[in-house]
Amino acid sequence: MLERPGNEDDTVILPPPPAAKPHRRSVLYAGVGGAAALLAVAGYSTFRWFRRPKPIPMGTATEANIDNTQPCDIIVTYLALDKKVVVLDFPSLLSQGLMLDRVAAFVEKANVPHNRVLDDVALNAAITASGDTISDYYYGHDYQAVALARFFALAEAENIRLNSQELWLKQLLKQLGWMSPDTNGAIITVPAAGGPITPEMRAVILRHEISHGAFYTVPEYRHYTEQFWYGLTLSDREAFTNFLGRQGYDTNLTELMLNETQAYLIFTRDPRFFNAAAIGKTEAEVNQLRQGFIANMPDFWLTPLATEALPPVPAFMPACKPTQAMLATRHKRLCLCYQRSGFDCV
């Protein structure tokens, strides 16, 4: 269901109760009246309570916890390594895209404006022009809290109609207290295994996005990444920029270029997503760049992940939740989510 921006507040404004008549009452009358007033107040409070969206449940999860999950609904967790990073684990690429594609266009996609929010028609045209679909505009997303707050403020100011998934995200930001411009926080996302996403790819996506979380929330790391970027040769910067341009990132955004460079070069060790040939280099040259980056990295929670292997993806999910069904093949066992059409890997 679509709602108008500005009409999604979590409280309902009721007209004030009528003023009490200024005449004298007996004690009994006053008592009955008082009780009625109390009931009215209680009813009003209850009404408000029912109308208020339920708080979105949140836990805390490690990288391995998330890799070992197969969500049927969106799961929201604080990243155990840094609770300023909140992870949204989506049941499908489609549900992820519906919530975040408009934000992606606003923040960092190529060939779209970044000073205004696209309406549905413009967003769909941008996605189609890029050769993508809602589902695969991105496989994973990452946004600084301030960018999200700016997105929602502009969407409201411009009267852009947001979808229910986007309004849910707005509710989450309010719940986190992240709508102010001085918040230090980040949201990163990962889709469930299914369709083109294997469990191994899901783990690769998560590690990539975790590095963005660190970039946004740890100023020393952001500063270090900037230094690394400007320490590269011009041709190396161009090689990364050209690679990122082919992926659909807006190459005019230097901070985006250097942020993605650290994420692909150091934290995306899967040739399907990034390899030496993608930037016109040999494996030896890329390894040299990696070693240079890692050798001087500030020592904090992300540092071990620069060299650690990804958490093992379980070949077998030991058990599925009651809302899920098991798909067992010779090599894998996955928990599938129930859809209207039946159980599906969505």
Nearer to Zn ion, 53 or 248 (CB): 248
The footprint of Zn ion on residues 169-228 (CB under 5 A) is: none
CB of 254 to Zn ion, least distance (A): 15
* Of 78, 166, 80, 69, the residue nearest 117 (C-alpha): 166
CB of 220 to Zn ion, least distance (A): 20
- Tokens matching residue 329: 């093949």
Part of the chain binding Zn ion (CB under 5 A), chosen from 15-23, 258-266, 278-286, 337-345? 258-266
Nearer to Zn ion, 130 or 175 (CB): 130
Cα–Cα dist 260/244, whole Å? 8
Nearer to Zn ion, 146 or 162 (CB): 146
State which residue has the least CB distance to Zn ion. Answer: 263
User: CB burial class (10 A; 0-12, 13-18, 19+) of residue 283?
Assistant: exposed
Part of the chain binding Zn ion (CB under 5 A), chosen from 75-83, 129-137, 256-264, 316-324? 256-264
CB of 76 to Zn ion, least distance (A): 20
Nearer to Zn ion, 248 or 298 (CB): 248
Part of the chain binding Zn ion (CB under 5 A), chosen from 167-175, 178-186, 257-265, 291-299? 257-265
Size of the site for Zn ion (CB under 5 A): 2
Part of the chain binding Zn ion (CB under 5 A), chosen from 173-181, 191-199, 255-263, 270-278? 255-263
CB of 302 to Zn ion, least distance (A): 14
Contacts of 240 (CB under 8 A, 6+ apart): 232, 257, 260, 261, 264, 265, 279
Nearer to Zn ion, 142 or 166 (CB): 142
Instruction: With beta carbons less than 8 A apart as the criterion, state whether 306 and 266 touch.
Output: yes
Query: 79 by DSSP, 3-state: which?
Result: strand
Nearer to Zn ion, 261 or 324 (CB): 261
Nearer to Zn ion, 278 or 317 (CB): 278
Q: How far apart are the first and last CA of the chain?
A: 21
Residue 263 binds Zn ion, judged by CB under 5 A: yes
CB of 74 to Zn ion, least distance (A): 20
Cα–Cα dist 313/121, whole Å? 39
* Of 249, 250, 274, 248, the residue nearest 263 (C-alpha): 274
**Interstrand relation of 142-144 and 186-191 (parallel, antiparallel or unpaired):** antiparallel
Instruction: With beta carbons less than 8 A apart as the criterion, state whether 180 and 19 touch.
Output: no
Amino acid at 6: G
CB of 265 to Zn ion, least distance (A): 11
- Tokens matching residue 206: 């998560």
Query: 331 by DSSP, 3-state: which?
Result: coil
Nearer to Zn ion, 240 or 335 (CB): 240
CB of 286 to Zn ion, least distance (A): 17
Contacts of 304 (CB under 8 A, 6+ apart): none
Cα–Cα dist 273/259, whole Å? 16
The footprint of Zn ion on residues 95-124 (CB under 5 A) is: none
CB of 243 to Zn ion, least distance (A): 12
Residues at the site binding Zn ion, with contacts judged by CB under 5 A:
260, 263
